[in-house]
Amino acid sequence: MTNVTKSISAALIAGAALVGSAASAQVAGVATLDTTDAIMQTKAFAQAYQQISTTYASNSQMIQTKRKEINDINAQLDTNKDKNLTQEELDAAIKAKNPLLTQLEAKEKEIVQLQQPVVTAQAFAVESIADRYAAAQQQVVTQKKINMILSPDAFIWAPDAVDVTKAVTAALDLAVPAVGITPPANWQPKQSTGALYEQIQQRLVTAARVQAIRNAQAQQAAQQPGAAPAAPAVPAPQQPQPESR
């Protein structure tokens, strides 16, 4: 091997070692964090949503009744009875000034009114937790000597130890063991609260749909002839169901 070749090889090895060292230093200080999940997994969140569900149980029942009434009206507007109310059928009802449309609009407004106190209570609880989030995150950053936090979807793959979501949840549990569900008079949520609340509600709706599909599949499997008894399901962490969607 010539001296020039040896010099190039040494340079490449040294460069590789330098890059490897820098990469290791970056990975050591990088973490992933799901802000929405960190808040949703807190004890205060679960307790608040459960309390809201209990407090406004009558609202939920009335909303279900109103939605059934709306479905009945839609069935009457479905002129070809294919259980699919199309835009053409709605347009025909509007052109004919069908009185059922007035009833439909009134019931939809009633649902909005019934949902409003539930939405307000949920948003207030979420904001009460979110107000302490920055401090909880900083506590974890300091304790774990984190230099950079990225969202989980920024990684193609990362070891479980990189995710500090549970650590932030634990810090929030200590900082906010419980929150109220009754906001002060004329309270209005912050703009950031609105965005966070929507993300939470979407996740709850998705989780409810997934659970419904699993229940239907389990029921279908159990009804098949000769099916073996299903193994007892491992109870999942209870998540409050959305009352506002």
pLDDT in the model for residue 16: 40
Q: What is the pTM of this model?
A: 0.76
pLDDT in the model for residue 5: 45
Mean pLDDT for each 10-residue chunk of the chain (245 residues)?
46 40 52 96 98 97 96 94 92 94 96 97 98 97 93 88 95 97 95 96 95 91 70 46 41
pLDDT in the model for residue 157: 87
**Region for 231 from its dihedrals, namely left if φ exceeds 0, alpha if ψ lies in -120 to 50, beta otherwise:** beta
pLDDT in the model for residue 232: 54
